[in-house]
Structure formats: C-alpha cells, structure tokens
Amino acid sequence: MADFKVTQIDENVDFDSLPWWDVVIIGAGPAGLAASLTTAHRALTTLVIEAKDSAGGQPQFLYADKKIVDVPGFPDGVTGHELSERTFRQAVEAQVQFRFNEELKAIENTDQVVDGDSLKQVVTSNGSYLCRKVILACGLLHYPRRHSVLDALNSDAVHYRSPRVADYEGSTVIVVGGGDSALDAAVMALQRGARVEVIVRKVTSGKADTLNLIRELGGVIRTSTEITQATLKDGVISAVLSDGTTIDCEHAVVQIGFLSAKETFEGLGLKLNDEGAVAIDPYFETSRHGIFAVGDVHGDIKLIAVAWAEGIQAAIHAFHEITSPYWLNEKRLHDNKLTLIAERLSQAAVQKRE
C-alpha cells in the first residue's frame, strides 16, 4: 500500500467552523503525533485531544531531561523534551489542531452520514467533536498515581515528573518510588548537585546499574519505608517516614506508577485482549468500525519508533477508508480469507499430530 503523496491543507481553513473533522486522535504522545502528521499531510482535517497541558506523552512526562539513545536519526541521543517539542512543532506546521486539558469521556455513534461514513461523536470533559474516524493513541497508562500525603500540601514543590531544574546545588530532593522512572529522576537530581533521598515502600525494582550509580553519586536509598506525614513551611517540606525519620527537602518527586486505562476502554465498548489491552485487526482497527488503536493501548513493544510506525500505519488505513472504502473492504475480505485458510490448516495439522 504505497502512499508517498504529501498534500498541504489549505491555510485558510476555518477550523473553528468545521461541521465535522476527518480524524480525531486521542493522545498527543509519539503515536498520536505521528498519526496526526500523516493524516494532515494527506489533507485530512485533524484534531488531537490531549488530557495533559502539553504534547509529548511519556517521553515528555517521564524523560524530559534524559537522553534517549534508541531513536533512529539521533546518534548522540535526544532528550524527551527536545524530541517532543520537535514533533509537536512539525504537527502544528502541518496545521494539526490541538485541544489540551481535555479528557476523553465517550465515543458515541450518530445517525449522521458523510459520503457513506457514519459520523462518530467524541465526547470530552470540555465538549464534543463530530468526526469520520477516531485513532486512540492515549496509552495504557493514563495518569500518575497520586501520593495522598504529599498531595495534601498543595505545593508546587511536589512533582509527578522530574522538574526542569538546571541546578539543584544545595537543595535536598526526595524521590518516592523504586522503579526505573524514580531511579532515573534520582540520578538527574544528583547530577545537578542535589542531595537525594530515595524512599521505597518495599524494595527497588529498577536497574541494578542505576542503583549503583545513585550510591556512587552520594544518594541515599531507604527501602521498606514510606512517608506517613508531611508539612510545608517557608518552601521546605518536612516528610516524616514510617521508621520515624524526618527529612526536610525543597523538592519531592513522586514516581509510583500509573493508573490503568482499562476501565476507559471498557466504557468505550471496545473488545479487549487477555492482557486488558485493546484488541485490533491487522489494520489497527478495533472492534468498533472507524475506531483505530495504536501504541501502548494494544502493543507489547514499548518503543518510540514502534509507536511512530503504528501511528503512521493506522493513519494511512483511516485515510484509505475515507478516500477508497470499497477498495479497502475488498482487500480486507481477501486478507480475512487467507487468515481463515491458515487457521484451518493449523487446526488440521494439530488434529493429525493427535
């Protein structure tokens, strides 16, 4: 399915007055941004809905200052912030439209039809949008788990991603969590001159090399303990641990995992696989016609390059459903026949062995 034509959207399109969008994409992470570029470059009006206040997804949220070394084209590595900023700028220049701080609530069927396509209505926390196709690229892990004791302080000194601080010299930072994200946050703070205490409720599960680096840089790792109380005075957090220790700090970074989006997917009426991820066909389409899913919502390989590739493929399939629906349906029938034949041959081989 070669598709190399790039078409620019008319600069004079009044996006605020569109009766419906060609494509609405849920999530502005790597998969969603790649999908949006692909649809916009094929002259499809494209809207991206993002629950957070900025684009980038996990690379921006978890690895803003960390060098990512497995992205093709960046031999010296690239930070999550730089990669996210570059891709977002590219999407904006392609006239992709964005709505931030909007959480997906529902995707409803409608009785409105455009060129044989039944429109869907994407309902968010701020409004609703009619569209021909939907691409889910919001990831399996939506929101960071909150720390109730630290949250009660209502302080800007409590972070759920590593803050973009160039110099921590003379400051104390506590990092809550024992996984890779928490340990990476500890290393970044130490490398910027902070005194770091890592608080782990049970045992660490991060990489041994990172643990050793934290100790080499002078960090302290406290396992089998947790924060039970915290107060804030003059910009300093006093955290009381379950072992009776009190730590005063200027910053607290919380990395204790994320909440699953399984309930959201079930609420959308989508078929899930045994792992609780969204089930898709070879065209990245879900059990609901016109709704595609890419990236972590279904996949086992959590790599930026894979998210990009899936976003692009789903976008092209959505494009062909809009522009060549009869051709694509015939191809799908052919592919399904081949799959059925392969399954029957496999079953026959099993029965013969038995």
Q: Which CATH number is correct for 146-256, 3.90.1520.10, 3.30.70.260, 3.50.50.60, 3.40.50.300?
A: 3.50.50.60
Query: Each residue of 169-221: pLDDT tens digit?
Result: 889 999 999 999 899 999 999 999 999 999 999 999 999 999 999 999 999 99
Q: Please determine, for residue 329, whether its predicted confidence score (pLDDT) is greater than 60.
A: no
CA separation for the pair 252, 254 (Å, rounded): 6
Q: What angle do CA 77, 91, 71 make, to 5 degrees?
A: 20
Cβ–Cβ < 8 Å for 47, 121: no
- Torsion, Cα 63 68 72 74, to 10 degrees, reads 110
Domain boundaries, the chain: 15-143+259-338, 146-256
Cβ–Cβ < 8 Å for 267, 136: no
Q: Are strands 258-260 and 141-144 parallel, antiparallel or unpaired?
A: antiparallel
- Torsion, Cα 164 170 172 175, to 10 degrees, reads 40
Distance of CA 60 to the CA centre of its chain: 10
Strand-pair partners of 104: 124
Q: Which tokens in the block code for residue 270?
A: 């989508």
Domains 15-143+259-338 and 146-256 fall in the same CATH topology: yes
pTM comes to 0.70
Q: Domain 15-143+259-338 sits in which CATH superfamily?
A: FAD/NAD(P)-binding domain (3.50.50.60)
CA separation for the pair 93, 233 (Å, rounded): 45
Query: Each residue of 279-291: pLDDT tens digit?
Result: 999 899 999 999 9
Residue-averaged pLDDT of the chain: 88
Cβ–Cβ < 8 Å for 250, 237: yes
